[in-house]
A and B are shown apart, each in its own frame.
Chain A
Amino acid sequence: AQSVSQHNHHVILSEAASLELGCNYSYGGTVNLFWYVQYPGQHLQLLLKYFSGDPLVKGIKGFEAEFIKSKFSFNLRKPSVQWSDTAEYFCAVMGTGGFKTIFGAGTRLFVKA
């Protein structure tokens, strides 16, 4: 069965600090991987996705993520966070072949101005 684990439930950073949010998944086949973000009062939106090819993917607002197949990981990174990055971040995995998309429990990020 698919599962997704996000390592931190709450993260507090100061502006300009670097960010790395951990995500590990469990699935026996090939996968599509996603990060979604939910800003306060807004709906979930896609931040970036890995489908195939280059394991380092870049998304909106300066975010990037690296797929490490051997570690079953898809960590989200940003070199310098801003106050406006305060949000909840969800990692998601979908097994290829039309399987369902499973979400992690989410990580709440608070960036201090």
Chain B
Amino acid sequence: KAGVTQTPRYLIKTRGQQVTLSCSPISGHRSVSWYQQTPGQGLQFLFEYFSETQRNKGNFPGRFSGRQFSNSRSEMNVSTLELGDSALYLCASSRDTEGYGYTFGSGTRLTVV
């Protein structure tokens, strides 16, 4: 079965711009979570969606937002980009919210210049 698909794979944006990242989970997976991965901070939790509802949110500013559609696909948006937003953004899907573990996508590498 197809894995978790994230688009685009690479993105270069200018400070102050906004960006939208997309994630298509594995078919049948209803939970989608987003993480920011950087060399210094590891994986930082952004948010989790389940059946179109945000269930959990990490400690990121309001510039970071997301949503989930009825087909479980998810998008995250970052507005007013800052240099420090440069990171690998990972999407992970799970069949449900308890104990199944994640399947991760390959990530979107965002560079802010």
Which positions in A face B, CB cutoff 8 Å? 32, 34, 36, 43-46, 49, 51-52, 90, 94, 96, 98-106
Contacts and interface: CB of A to CB of B under 8 A. Distances in A.
A32 B45 CA distance: 16
**Contact-residue bracket for chain B:** 20 to 34
Contacts of B98: 32, 51, 96, 98
B42 A105 contact: yes
A101 B33 contact: yes
Contacts of A51: 98-99
Contacts of B103: 45-46
Nearest to A99: B56
11 contacts: A32-B98, A34-B101, A49-B99, A49-B101, A90-B43, A100-B48, A101-B45, A102-B45, A103-B35, A105-B42, A106-B42
